[in-house]
Structure 1
Amino acid sequence: MGENTGTRKFRRVVLKLSGEALREPGSTDNICPPIVEDMAAQIKAAHQTGLEIALVVGGGNFWRGVSASNKGMERATADYMGMLATVMNSLALQSMLEAIDVPTRVQSAIEMKNVAEPFIRRVAMRHLELGRVVIFAAGTGNPFFSTDTTAALRASEIGADVVFKATKVDGIYDSDPNKNPNAKRYDCVSYHDCLTKQLKVMDATAFSLCEENHMPIVVFSMNEPDNIRKALVGEPLGTLVNSSGCL
């Protein structure tokens, strides 16, 4: 295990949020406006430093395609429904960001011109250059791919410096910390170790894509106050994943 020291410097980032993060724990509401408002405020604070920020949000607070397919629904159809759920979450984030004067664009991998732009790589990059937050909705537009893979893909396409994955835990552990009180957290770890040791914080496709494109990943907890802002501006939170396992 290496050490995560110093302040990271990024110009353009992709932040991956789970859909469940938009829901208050224990609530039956799919989206909790105060939680989304807090996320937006932290993103704004990081954005005001000049950072170019793109977001990918899951749809698990509304629908999980894999779970539905396990109950008998045809997998591709279930996944398309999940993609539509991500669009709803993306629009909620856009609304909260624009309410606090952060210019935002939603780009959808599934065309729905009345509510979002289509995903066009060069347009997305131009939005970022002009200081707009870009939210990538509807996954990759293809079934059988997770929103983790979407984050890895879009980050590679737009030339991001890093993928941030906000989770419920404060990094990557050698075993499930909820089941093993002696689990050890990695400060930094290689893509290879994540795959061979099956450290399942992101799926294998996302890890492999980041490895092929030399895209660092930072896995951090979003449950601590202000952690989204802290991570985005470069404070050394969580676990860094890269080729060598260390900076």
Structure 2
Amino acid sequence: MKTKSKLVFLELITSLFGWIWIGASIIALYSLIVALFSDGTWSQFFWALGASIIAKWLTRGFEDNRERIAYEAKLVNEGYSVEEAGQIWFQQYSKTSESGNQSNDLMAIIQAYGKAIETSAPSPSCVADENKLPYPKNKIKKAIIAGLRSTEDPQIKEHLKISYIQLADWQKDVGELDQGFNLTNIDINQDTESLAKAVLKQPSSSRNWATITQKEQEILKQELQDLGLW
């Protein structure tokens, strides 16, 4: 296939995946709104976000390939051999590929954490052991910060900020069982005396977790404020 034909073909493929990227991003945004305000599932949001990321990656890949062919053809016209043109392109491309791989890794961390929030987050007023997170807490924090800095979408930014604060729901040395006032097991429709007794039956050690969690929530919020991300 001649260089011009290759460039036309790659431009068409790039446009196709570009539209898929845009469509998946729109679906992800819609799913996020539904999940936040209409009691929708988070799984649809993360699947759409994943599809958007893959389409974006493919779009960039085909675009890079098109740019490579055009760049090498230009160098050959200037007198370089095909081998020399390929080496020059590789030197230019390798400078940016490392940062792209890092971005994909950070997105994988955010997706895994989002899945944990959806499927295994502790009940309201409870905390889970930090070891139950898919990655160390500091690693998740760095990934979310990178995500906040890389997106301009206000809805996604808000979701990432909430997810950052929710890291306080996972604490060290909690143990295998979640700790705290598990209000989901208490019938709030019972009389006041019975309700008080039910609350007092909660483990005595659980009373400290609310203070610990609230304190870390304030610290996490302050971290985002200090970074200019809140």
Flag whether TM exceeds 0.5 (same fold).
no
Larger relative contact order (C-alpha < 8 A, sep ≥ 6)?
Answer: 1
Structure of larger gyration radius: 2
Higher strand fraction: Structure 1 or Structure 2?
Answer: 1
Q: TM-score, normalised by structure 1?
A: 0.27
Q: TM-score, normalised by structure 2?
A: 0.28
